[in-house]
Chain A
Amino acid sequence: MAPSIVLADADLDLAGYEAAGGYQALAKARAMTPAEVTEDLITSELRGRGGAFFPTGRKWSFVPSKEQLPKPHYLVVNADESEPGSFKDNEILSRVPHRFIEGCLITAHAVDCKHVFVYIRGEYSGPYEILVTALEELKDRPEIRGDVTIVVHRGAGAYICGEETALLESLEGKRGQPRSKPPFPAIAGLYAAPTVVNNVETITTVPPVIAMGGAEYAKLGVPNTRGSRVVSVSGNVVNGGNYEIEAGMSLRDIIFDLAGGIANGRQLKAVVPGGSSTVILRADEIDVGYDFDSLAELRTAMGSAGIVVLDDRCCIVELGIRFSEFYEHESCGKCTPCRVGTRWLTQIMRKLEAGDATQRDLDLLLDVCDRINGKCLCPLGDSDAIIIASYVDKFRDEFQQHIDLGRCPFGGHSSLHGVLAPVQQHAHHTVAEVRA
């Protein structure tokens, strides 16, 4: 049975949330010392839900004490959800805003912080308004708010700001370009002060962890992936949407039971398991547990839990083009391999799709992937390189067909044919073209 932990008691106002037991975990946490709260989170084995899967309690424990480093502490919540395929934070903020706020307040207590900044992507007007309304409900409730200030800071359209150091730059009023690490945010984050950066779902999981106790939470799920997970299912399925699952549930069951299977009587071709940045799975690879270890065996990951289901009308080369166009558009431009390389990947695949590519172009495609991967400050370019290499690895025959036939085997009938990407709307391109 699917657990209801993060998304339980949805769509309630403050009174309803409190009637359902809301803000009692906060009271319980405040009766504990910050170290005890952090210890309970370590016991729960909760790991970050934004994509990097870092153990939450351990992250909190890295914040130096104010005696060690006399600076204010900051909690920054990453609500910049922009990974193609992922839309869980959108629903969490919209439907359980008070559990989210409660999580912010518990975390603030655990890391001894008075200032919380919620960096929400600029496009999320709906969740923003709901969150602000929920915060206003707490205006006359000082016993809940304590001495903590929560500022909701709106982004303005930049995928890269989901990367934590770019987010901090953006929050400081700069262009959202990643910093080099170290120093890590726990030591020198926002305004060069100790900063914890956590994802929305992670923060919203904190109250139930405290309420049930870390040890109880750790009984859910499988080793290395405890508890529940809100997965976003989209693409060619009957019932797209967010589903809260117990970690370890089979990917096949998520797609076929929860999401109702493949729409329009088509056949499953491939699944992007954890947002656009994760290695693709073929249809014969979905009998796998949706957890860290099981997916790692297939060299892929849960990422931000955006499961994109693709049916047999999808041309893998066009899939590569569309995702690569996304990374090209969203590259911040700071590191050359990413800025230039993502564009090269797009262009080489366009040449393949047009039927103009030779064997050398396929080699070049993989060579460019190698020249991006691991050579930049953040994982944006790496993501493009890794997924494109995985498409070639898993669907080499289809890439080869584009060369051998001198055209796309779908002949203009693939589900991604002729899609206009934003990057094509921009008139000025000054980077060198790949020659025919």
Chain B
Amino acid sequence: MSDLYDRIQEERAKYPEGSQSAVLPALRLAQEEHGWLSPDVLREVADALELTPAYCESIAGFYDQFHTAPVGKHLVEVCTNVSCAVVGAQQVLEAFESGLGCRPGETSEDGEFTLRAVECLGGCGWATIVAIDDHYRTHVQPNDVPGIVEELKSGS
């Protein structure tokens, strides 16, 4: 059995027998391993959970953090809700757009970066919040962006 299968069983053990509570943790593990939730990956998760692939897809489709299409190696998410927007989130987003070479909602041609505008990340007082591969950068200003892009490109 695969490593993913075993790790999903570990997640299942945290919840009462017969429940399907491990769906979210299982999809998260699968996505961490494969980058996105392809039909094949969804089948693998479904088998490990004794659920149908269609069910797993319906869950993956509901939640914003699950990717049902390929994404870049790095995910750059800029909050554009009100608290960030009134201090310049749109300018930050546009700076990433030119720095990464892809528009919000798209992936760069080399497959390195996906840029997204996202809803409130829960860091409003430290705006603008940018989540890079799930870790928050706070107080991001447009002129910080070239440095961040450089850092990501050299590290990747």
Chain A positions within 8 Å of B, measured between CB atoms, are 81-87, 89-90, 121-126, 151, 153-159, 170-176, 191, 232-236, 240-242, 263, 272, 276, 306, 308, 310-311, 313-314, 319, 322-323, 326, 329-330, 332, 415-416, 418-422, 424-426
Nearest opposing residue in chain B for A416, CB measure: B85
| B126: A residues at CB distance < 8 A | 87, 240-241
> In the complex the two chains form, is B63's CB within 8 Å of A151's CB?
no
> In the complex the two chains form, is A323's CB within 8 Å of B82's CB?
yes
B28 is an interface residue with CB less than 8 A from chain A? yes
| A82: B residues at CB distance < 8 A | 119-120, 122
> Bound state CA distance, A125 and B28, in angstroms?
12
> In the complex the two chains form, is B86's CB within 8 Å of A306's CB?
no
Q: Which of A154, A159, A329, A416 contacts B25 (CB 8 A)?
A: A154
Nearest opposing residue in chain B for A264, CB measure: B87
B26 CB → nearest A CB, Å: 9
Nearest opposing residue in chain A for B14, CB measure: A151
B106 CB → nearest A CB, Å: 9
| A151: B residues at CB distance < 8 A | 14-15
* Total contacts A-B at CB 8 Å: 165
Nearest opposing residue in chain A for B66, CB measure: A156
A347 CB → nearest B CB, Å: 19
| A422: B residues at CB distance < 8 A | 64, 80, 116-119
| B86: A residues at CB distance < 8 A | 235-236, 310-311, 313-314, 415-416
| A426: B residues at CB distance < 8 A | 105
B21 is an interface residue with CB less than 8 A from chain A? yes
One digit per residue, 1 when the CB lies within 8 angstroms of any chain A CB and 0 when it does not, for chain B 102-138 equals 0011000000000011111111111100010011100
Q: A85-B124, A124-B122 known; A235 and B28 CB under 8 Å?
A: no
> Bound state CA distance, A422 and B77, in angstroms?
10
> In the complex the two chains form, is B82's CB within 8 Å of A126's CB?
no
B1 CB → nearest A CB, Å: 21
> In the complex the two chains form, is A322's CB within 8 Å of B119's CB?
no
Interface core residue of B15, B25, B64, B86 (most chain A CB under 10 Å): B86
> In the complex the two chains form, is B62's CB within 8 Å of A158's CB?
yes
Nearest opposing residue in chain A for B129, CB measure: A87
> In the complex the two chains form, is A125's CB within 8 Å of B135's CB?
yes
B60 CB → nearest A CB, Å: 9
Nearest opposing residue in chain B for A193, CB measure: B16
| B22: A residues at CB distance < 8 A | 173
> In the complex the two chains form, is A155's CB within 8 Å of B124's CB?
no
> In the complex the two chains form, is A420's CB within 8 Å of B59's CB?
no
> Bound state CA distance, A87 and B126, in angstroms?
10
A238 CB → nearest B CB, Å: 11
> Bound state CA distance, A156 and B63, in angstroms?
6
| A310: B residues at CB distance < 8 A | 82, 86
B95 CB → nearest A CB, Å: 13
| B83: A residues at CB distance < 8 A | 84-85, 234-235, 240, 308
> In the complex the two chains form, is A419's CB within 8 Å of B63's CB?
no
Interface core residue of A87, A90, A415 (most chain B CB under 10 Å): A87
> Bound state CA distance, A306 and B83, in angstroms?
10
Other contacts beyond A172-B21, A173-B22: 8, CB < 8 A: A85-B120, A87-B126, A125-B134, A154-B24, A175-B59, A241-B126, A308-B82, A416-B82
Q: Which of A85, A172, A233, A330 contacts B82 (CB 8 A)?
A: A85
> In the complex the two chains form, is A241's CB within 8 Å of B125's CB?
yes
| B154: A residues at CB distance < 8 A | none
| B93: A residues at CB distance < 8 A | 420
Q: Which of B24, B90, B124 contacts A170 (CB 8 A)?
A: B24
> In the complex the two chains form, is A420's CB within 8 Å of B136's CB?
no
Interface residues of B in 84-103 (CB under 8 A from A): 85-87, 89-90, 93
16 A-B pairs within 8 Å (CB atoms) are namely A82-B122, A83-B120, A85-B83, A85-B124, A123-B65, A125-B135, A170-B24, A173-B59, A175-B58, A234-B83, A236-B86, A240-B124, A276-B82, A322-B81, A332-B62, A419-B80
| B81: A residues at CB distance < 8 A | 84, 276, 322, 326
B143 is an interface residue with CB less than 8 A from chain A? no
> Bound state CA distance, A171 and B27, in angstroms?
13
> Bound state CA distance, A191 and B19, in angstroms?
8
> In the complex the two chains form, is A90's CB within 8 Å of B122's CB?
yes
> Bound state CA distance, A121 and B83, in angstroms?
19
Q: Which of A84, A175, A235, A240 contacts B119 (CB 8 A)?
A: A84
Interface core residue of B65, B120, B131 (most chain A CB under 10 Å): B120
| A81: B residues at CB distance < 8 A | 122
> In the complex the two chains form, is B66's CB within 8 Å of A126's CB?
no
| B25: A residues at CB distance < 8 A | 153-154
> In the complex the two chains form, is B85's CB within 8 Å of A322's CB?
yes
B20 is an interface residue with CB less than 8 A from chain A? yes
Nearest opposing residue in chain A for B24, CB measure: A156
B9 CB → nearest A CB, Å: 15
| B76: A residues at CB distance < 8 A | none
> In the complex the two chains form, is A87's CB within 8 Å of B63's CB?
no
